[in-house]
Chains A and B, each alone.
Chain A
């Protein structure tokens, strides 16, 4: 079931347009395309439009679908009125740190699981798979006391540590399926030359694994960047609070007066880099997602 990133192998035959009634079918098809695009993109469009409006314009009725006098004031306010840049740094450090640790560990174990034969291997794979399906909430209480006990509460380290629970099984699984696809000859040649396993891994296999490392790392980065439950529970203030938590806690002058324009500006700020990344690496992402899910 391996789906390689660049080859969409077989397309079903193109729609044939021989019969006269096809024109209507065509129009319907494009209508469906437009509806899907509208459905998928409108909420994000709306967040951008809102973020460009003056806070007072938000409460104009009827609603304006285009910002009359677009302003960047909300973006400025997000960075001055709120400790949002601190949150961004926290998110960045935690997500990158999680990815680096996960990839390093996953590389070692994927090499072992994908290239070596030993007893208990499938058992191990089952356990790792089971961990990847853990409901985070199942470990929340135990992890909370552990993190407090280690003095990691409200720190970057506490978050990076706790995120391993979902990034590690995932990266191990995906990397293993990638490692398995590497031709055996590469490793044999290194073996014959007398390279140690670590040399083989880092000098011979690593260069070949680079594209899959990028894919896996990116997916792990996105999950870590988006994580909410642990970040909400294991942080107390802006020392380590990440962006999703900050956005969920945004508050206005009063409970009834949420600063929607600022919330939308913050939302756009955290989302645009992700969307850019995803669009650049879209082929890798699709192959990574299917390697993680379909290959299972």
Chain B
């Protein structure tokens, strides 16, 4: 890129011209983003201050902050159901991200060591990732079936349980059953990212460590892990953002049930099922704020660079 500019003595003119061309090349994308993201977001924020309703033909009236907070306690922020969805989402996020990280690291380490068939294994772990979330949710729902599900059957055969467990209907288990599905589906993705990080570590430092007589365990803690930190951070933040906005797996497995409803599911219930466009938009804005805070943290903490 720099070289292109040294081609001509009149740098300034060329650079200005190239800047103009770049702008034209970007116009279609910027227009599309403005239309599909900018305007709807703006609209959502605006609607969150109105009493808009999908069912009523009347123009929305401004209601100030009352979708968020009212003196008589009807605002979203005063709704226990909202806070319940927040707690569910946090439980879901923390547990799934931690489990996916630990399992993913384990799998990445296994695939990173040389053994016959590792290519096949890397291909195999792509399978859960390739399966659409809705499909994996349905597959697991069937496996979780209390009477005829294969999970209860396996546990029976192993003598681990003596009565069938209704995984989804049991309020204590519903959320964790859904976490298990997410972990199954997403661990491979985490493993692949970590594997890429592992393979970028030069092998000569391990040879040096061998010469110095460091044990494999020491090598892992003193070399591999520290060198993997950037990859680990990216992976964790990516997964956190994804988990915070979880919708499909929760909705397909258990609908809007209180035991597992997520923030996004709660928002959609308000928006579409209750047709409360105003109140639902307020929920959307809250979720947006939470995720934007994480995003800013992501972009700044990793010092993403472009050139």
A residues in contact (CB < 8 Å) with B:
1, 3, 8-15, 29, 32-33, 36-37, 39-41, 43-44, 46-47, 50, 58-63, 65, 105-106, 108-109, 111-113, 115-119, 121-122, 124-131, 133-146, 161-162, 164-165, 168-169, 172, 184-185, 187-188, 191-192, 197, 222, 225-226, 228-229, 233, 243-245, 247-248, 250, 260, 263-264, 267, 270-271, 274-275, 277-279, 282, 285-286, 289-290, 293-294, 296
Is B139's CB under 8 angstroms from A135's CB? no
User: Are B135 and A289 closer than 8 Å at their CB atoms?
Assistant: no
B102 at the interface (CB under 8 A from A): no
Minimum CB–CB distance from A268 to chain B (whole Å) comes to: 9
Stretch at the interface among B69-77, B90-98, B123-131, B165-173: B123-131
Question: Nearest-CB distance from A260 to chain B (Å)?
Answer: 5
Q: Which 4 A-B pairs have the closest CB atoms?
A: A142-B40, A142-B43, A118-B19, A116-B22
The CA of A124 and the CA of B150, in the complex, are separated in Å by 50
Contacts of B37 in A (CB 8 A): 131, 134, 139, 165
Chain A residue nearest in CB terms to B278: A141
Q: Is the CB of A294 within 8 A of B197?
A: yes
User: Measured between alpha carbons, how far is A39 from B147 in the docked complex, in Å?
Assistant: 22
Would you call B201 an interface residue if the criterion is a C-beta within 8 Å of the partner chain's C-beta atoms? yes
Interface residues, chain B, with chain A CB atoms under 8 Å away: 1-5, 7, 15, 18-19, 21-23, 25-26, 28-30, 32-33, 35-37, 39-44, 47, 54, 106-107, 110, 112-115, 117, 121-140, 142-143, 145, 147-148, 150, 153, 156-157, 184, 188-189, 192-193, 195-204, 206-207, 210, 230-231, 234-235, 238, 241, 244-245, 247-248, 251-252, 263-264, 267-268, 271-272, 277, 280-281, 284-285, 287-288, 291-292, 294-295, 298-299, 302, 304, 306-307
In the complex, the answer to whether A222 meets B130 with C-beta atoms within 8 Å is: yes
Task: Decide if the interface of chain B is mainly helix, strand, loop or mixed.
Answer: helix
A37, A142, A243, A263: residue with the most chain B Cβ atoms closer than 10 Å: A142
How many CB-defined contacts (below 8 Å) exist between A and B?
348
Knowing A39-B184, A161-B36, A267-B138, say if A140 contacts B3 (CB, 8 Å).
Answer: no
Assuming the contacts A133-B241, A188-B4, asked whether A116 and B18 have C-beta atoms less than 8 A apart, the reply is yes
CA distance A140 to B275 in the complex (A): 12
A-B contacts, 12 listed (Cβ < 8 Å): A9-B200, A10-B204, A11-B203, A12-B203, A63-B150, A105-B28, A109-B25, A118-B23, A122-B306, A135-B284, A142-B39, A294-B234
Let me know if A279 and B123 touch, CB within 8 A: yes
Interface SS of chain A: helix
Minimal Cβ-Cβ distance residue in B for A291: B196
Q: Is the CB of B299 within 8 A of A129?
A: yes
CB-CB under 8 A for A192 and B7, given A29-B115, A133-B291: yes
Most interface-central of A36, A121, A282 (chain B CB within 10 A): A36
The residue that B131 contacts in the complex, of A233, A274, A277, with Cβ under 8 A, is: A274
Chain A hits for B203, CB < 8 A: 10-13
Residues of B close to A250: CB separation below 8 A? 138
User: Which residues from chain B contact A165 at a C-beta distance below 8 Å?
Assistant: 33, 36-37
Minimum CB distance partner of B20 in chain A: A118
- Known pairs A13-B206, A191-B4; list 15 more (Cβ under 8 Å): A1-B200, A37-B124, A44-B131, A108-B29, A122-B307, A124-B26, A133-B292, A135-B288, A137-B264, A141-B271, A184-B1, A228-B134, A277-B130, A289-B192, A290-B192
Residues of A within 8 A of B201 (CB): 10, 12
- Report whether A274 and B132 are in contact in the complex, using a CB–CB cutoff of 8 Å: yes
| Neighbour of A40 across the interface among B19, B188, B199, B245, CB < 8 A | B188
Contacts of A260 in B (CB 8 A): 142, 145
Question: A122 — which chain B residues lie within 8 A by C-beta?
Answer: 306-307
A282 to B127, CA, bound (A): 11
* Cross-chain contact B43 with A145 (CB below 8 angstroms): yes
